[in-house]
């Protein structure tokens, strides 16, 4: 039998859980990011053409789209069969996404974007090689896409595998393990628990990949330095559906560097 005391306690617990969830939904990004990007709590939409011209605005478009998805308010823009077949005008994607191949992270769905919006390269652990660099450079030089997002995700199997530091991974998997190894070693050294170390490795891997692209000669490093192209990192949460942009990859963008110091 449920006593009054237990009932009240359960009620309080449920109430605080709902409250926590509400806070999580409104606080999608870190306060510093919210301030710098001027994100508005009640805003859900950003214009497509402006996002293509201004990568800072493009970031807002991705964040608002993900907010729609996380809050079950997706509008699924330009995703009909007719939209897919209507491509005479070519493409003008406003963002390049370097994401993990994980089947649970479909980029257009989690950012609630449509056909022609995102230029996507996906490999396990979003590990990049020569062909990935060429693909990203094609987007910046030919398609004039000005926003690049490295997108990791929670419970990433590739990062998890790298954490085990296997001695003889099969076939070409060794390429992935070796690329993620520095992040996994960093996490093992700096995390206080196994769960925390996987999360830390996932974030560190993204931060390292952002740094790699920002310094990639000869195209991206120059573009990033001039402020033509923004390169940022984010991590997708498989449970809440939220994409969290990593603060250090936003505060270090040219426009915010001085404000944050």
Query: What residues line the site for Zn ion (CB under 5 A)?
Result: 100, 102, 156, 158
Q: How far is the CB of 202 from Zn ion (least distance, A)?
A: 8
Q: How far is the CB of 203 from Zn ion (least distance, A)?
A: 13
* H-type alpha helices, the chain: 4-26, 31-36, 48-53, 55-70, 81-85, 107-110, 130-141, 157-163, 173-190, 194-214, 220-226, 247-251, 254-260
| Cβ neighbours of 227 (radius 10 Å) | 13
Q: How far is the CB of 120 from Zn ion (least distance, A)?
A: 14
Token duo for residue 46: 């950003």
Nearer to Zn ion, 55 or 152 (CB): 152
Nearer to Zn ion, 145 or 242 (CB): 242
Q: How far is the CB of 123 from Zn ion (least distance, A)?
A: 9
Instruction: Look at the block and give the residue holding tokens 């939209």.
Output: 83
* 8 Å CB contact between 150 and 206: yes
Q: Give the list of residues 6+ apart from residue 69 with CB closer than 8 angstroms, or none.
A: 109, 110, 111, 112, 241
Nearer to Zn ion, 140 or 242 (CB): 242
Nearer to Zn ion, 100 or 162 (CB): 100
Q: How far is the CB of 153 from Zn ion (least distance, A)?
A: 6
Nearer to Zn ion, 102 or 108 (CB): 102
């Amino acid at each position: 039998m449920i006593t009054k005391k237990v009932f009240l306690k359960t009620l309080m617990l449920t109430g605080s859980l709902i409250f926590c969830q509400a806070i999580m939904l409104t606080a999608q990004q870190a306060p510093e990011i919210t301030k710098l990007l001027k994100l508005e709590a009640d805003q859900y939409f950003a214009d497509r053409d402006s996002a293509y011209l201004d990568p800072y605005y493009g970031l807002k478009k991705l964040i608002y789209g993900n907010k729609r998805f996380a809050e079950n308010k997706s509008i699924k823009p330009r995703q009909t069969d007719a939209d897919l077949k209507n491509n005479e005008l070519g493409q003008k994607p406003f963002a390049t996404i370097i994401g993990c191949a994980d089947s649970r992270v479909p980029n257009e769905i989690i950012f609630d974007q449509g056909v022609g919006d995102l230029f996507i390269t996906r490999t396990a652990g979003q590990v990049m090689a020569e062909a990935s660099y060429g693909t990203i450079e094609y987007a910046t030089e030919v398609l004039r896409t000005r926003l690049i997002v490295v997108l990791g995700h929670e419970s990433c199997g590739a990062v998890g595998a790298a954490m085990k530091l296997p001695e003889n991974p099969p076939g070409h998997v060794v390429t992935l393990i070796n690329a993620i190894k520095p992040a996994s070693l960093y996490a093992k050294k700096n995390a206080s628990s196994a769960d925390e170390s996987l999360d830390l490795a996932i974030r560190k891997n993204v931060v390292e990949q952002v740094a790699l692209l920002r310094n990639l000669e000869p195209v991206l490093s120059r573009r990033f330095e001039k402020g033509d192209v923004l390169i940022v990192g984010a991590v997708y949460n498989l449970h809440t559906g939220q994409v969290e942009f990593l603060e250090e990859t936003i505060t270090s963008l040219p426009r915010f560097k001085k404000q944050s110091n």
